[in-house]
Amino acid sequence: MAKSKGKPTPQIKRTVPADKPVTAKKQPASAPRTATFAPGFLEQHWLPALLLMSLSFVLYGAALQYGYILDDQMVFWQNAYVQKGFAGIGDIFGYDSFMGYFQKRENLLLLEGGRYRPLSLATFAAEVGIFGKDQPGISHFINILLYGITGVVLYRVLLGFFPLGEGGRWYFSAAFIGALIFVVHPLHSEAVANIKGRDEILALLFSLGALYAALKYFDTNGRLWYWLSGLLLLLGLFAKENALTFLAVIPLTVWFFAKVPTGRIAAASLPLFIAALVFILVRYKALGFMLDHGNAIGDLMNNPFLGMTGGEKLATTFLTLGWYVKLLVWPHPLTHDYYPYHVPKVDWADWRALASVALYIGMGVWATMNLRSRRVPAYAIAYWLVTLSIVSNLFVSVGTFMNERFAFMPSVAFGLLVGWLLAEKAPVWFKEQTNRPYLLGVGVLAIVVGVFGWLTIRRVPVWKDAMALNQSSIVTSPNSARSHCFYVTALYENVYLKTKDPELKKRMVDTMEYHINRSVEINPNYGSALVMKGAIAAARFEQDKQMDKLFHEFGILLEKIPNNSNFRPFFDEYMKYLATSGGNPNKINAFCYRMGYEYFFQEKQDLKNAVAVLEHGLPTLVENERVLNALSEVYTAAGNPQKAAEMKARAEASAQVLYR
């Protein structure tokens, strides 16, 4: 955080016909019957591919003008390994993905589990090596490009599942509709518009690539495709761990659409399992543990289930799982903040948790009963359940209740299902009502794409900068402690510290004070909010000059976060500022005595903090006898007789001056 001139400010880091298998071309005796993957894809389908790619830029092109935001700090512009360019790639693959930001392993222990997603960081480092530092426009362009390519690859894969018949309309095919819905879905705005979201895009892109390669292997018996499937999956895993779910998705897809014997599927999955094993070993070497570093997380913002019973945790988890389904169908409103308590803590008395359990049990049972009959919705459900499982908090804690980007990979199921319903099923349902049943589907598609596209275009500008993002979040997530805190931080850094207008400063202090108090009300032990509370207390003092109010707030913060690496340097610097700028010496010394001697020394037996706080009374214009005697006693207890004697002598001299 920047500093205002002359005053200290806190530093804060931080995708057939209905119900029938696909009809494939006749294969040689040595090859199984699979979905059709004819050569010359781009020659035959360049127009839909171009449209999907272009649409990505139409929807997200505004982001080309945006900068870094939110977690971009940790993975890009303040990640020391990334900022080294090509020279940092070794370290990127050698450590936790946040090590380049935190620098110390012990700091990583403050977060749930570990993050090993080196591929996206390696691409960031390559950008720095090629284009130089501070080029966010390049990063946004690459994100949009990769997103468009992902849409094209998805279309290519879905064409294998739902091949065009003779005279078929590509623009109203299940494959194109599925890819189109995927590209326009507003739920993806976070993954695309936030540079950090590249890990999600790359993970899905390479996972779909691995699926395509596996299907090509069964279509051609080509050994190259056999091993390529494993290589592509490995790349997806290096992008993000959720690509592990394709260990189940790929065999399931081959079995469902290609009807390959399970024995051969198992044998052909060897490269996939080798890739997973390599990833797990490399990840273990980099992190030093498998899933959990073993340290308890006592911070609600990094362990949102803190303080919940087992029943409350499970009920709240199912609440979020139902929320994901709702956002698939109606992705509004969206937010980047699903932290406590935008997602409320609930128990099994809440109907929403019960409804979600019933929904997921129903989906799971129905899919299990209908997979063997090759019902496409059963496959879509199975894909959704498998890919969402890893971020569901049911099996592995992910450190937050939910995130929209977590639905990026699972949302393929929604596009596939909508494409199948409109292009394959709806014409059968409505053929008796109209001679052109597909027209009804076209109308529905136009409405869905129009609404989704409009919502996406409206959502993207929220990612312009910290102010826009946090202004949106306090409206959408008013019960999130993080939302209020981040909004205050944005106001403080981008408005309060930069303006010289006294009236604007006063209004900003009023606004910041309300929101920071709301943040602390939601989460009384929220470290970042408490740090900002200190900064706002100082800003309020600049307005009203009421030192008693300032010291009341400082005292609360010293009790709550005395050694916080962001608050404490700010506090120390501000006390020096007060002592040397004509602040009331009696009030300064009284505060130092109360907190340094009575609280830290007598109550907490914290000698280090006792000395540090008491010494803030020394630079005042008048030395205080009581503070000096307190320092003498504390130095004696600390085993420093020389300093104790010095303070005692100064206390006596101060007394003589006082009573002369």
| Single-letter amino acid code for the residue at 54 | S
Instruction: Give the pLDDT of residue 29.
Output: 31
Q: Are residues 250 and 115 in the same domain?
A: yes
Give dist(CA 198, CA 117) in Å, integer.
Answer: 10
Residue 443 placed within a domain: yes
Q: Are residues 244 and 143 in the same domain?
A: yes
> pLDDT tens across 208-228, in order?
999 999 999 999 999 999 999
Q: What is the mean pLDDT of each run of 10 residues along the chain (660 residues)?
A: 51 40 35 49 92 98 96 95 98 96 84 90 98 97 98 97 83 95 98 98 98 95 96 98 97 93 94 98 92 81 94 98 98 96 97 98 98 96 98 93 97 97 84 66 92 98 95 96 96 94 95 97 96 97 95 97 95 94 90 97 96 94 90 96 94 70
Residue 65 placed within a domain: yes
Contacts of 483 (CB under 8 A, 6+ apart): 335, 337, 339, 342, 470, 473, 474, 477, 519
Residue 486 placed within a domain: no
Q: DSSP string of 586-629?
A: HHHHHHHIIIIIIIIIIIT--HHHHHHHHGGGTTSSS--HHHHH
Q: Are residues 157 and 272 in the same domain?
A: yes
Residue 392 placed within a domain: no
Q: Are residues 443 and 586 in the same domain?
A: no
* Torsion over CA: 618, 622, 627, 631 (sign): positive
Residue 48 placed within a domain: yes
- Here the CATH number for the domain that contains residue 619 is 1.25.40
Residue 477 placed within a domain: no
Q: Are residues 439 and 554 in the same domain?
A: no
Residue 390 placed within a domain: no
Instruction: Give the pLDDT of residue 9.
Output: 62
Domain end, chosen from 434, 459, 484, is at: 459
Domain total for the chain?
2
Q: Are residues 144 and 283 in the same domain?
A: yes
Give dist(CA 418, CA 448) in Å, integer.
Answer: 10
Q: Are residues 439 and 556 in the same domain?
A: no
Q: Are residues 224 and 123 in the same domain?
A: yes
> pLDDT tens across 348-382, in order?
999 999 999 999 999 999 999 999 999 999 999 99
Residue 166 placed within a domain: yes
Domain end, chosen from 430, 459, 488, is at: 459
Q: Are residues 79 and 188 in the same domain?
A: yes
Burial category of 362 from C-beta neighbours within 10 Å (exposed 0-12, middle 13-18, buried 19 and up) = exposed
Tokens of 514: 């309300």
Instruction: Give the pLDDT of residue 165.
Output: 75
Instruction: Give the pLDDT of residue 582.
Output: 76
Instruction: Give the pLDDT of residue 114.
Output: 84
Domain that holds residue 210: 41-306+397-459
Instruction: Give the pLDDT of residue 567.
Output: 96
Instruction: Give the pLDDT of residue 5.
Output: 43
Give dist(CA 149, CA 127) in Å, integer.
Answer: 19
Domain end, chosen from 421, 442, 459, is at: 459
438 and 446 in contact (C-beta within 8 Å)? Answer: no
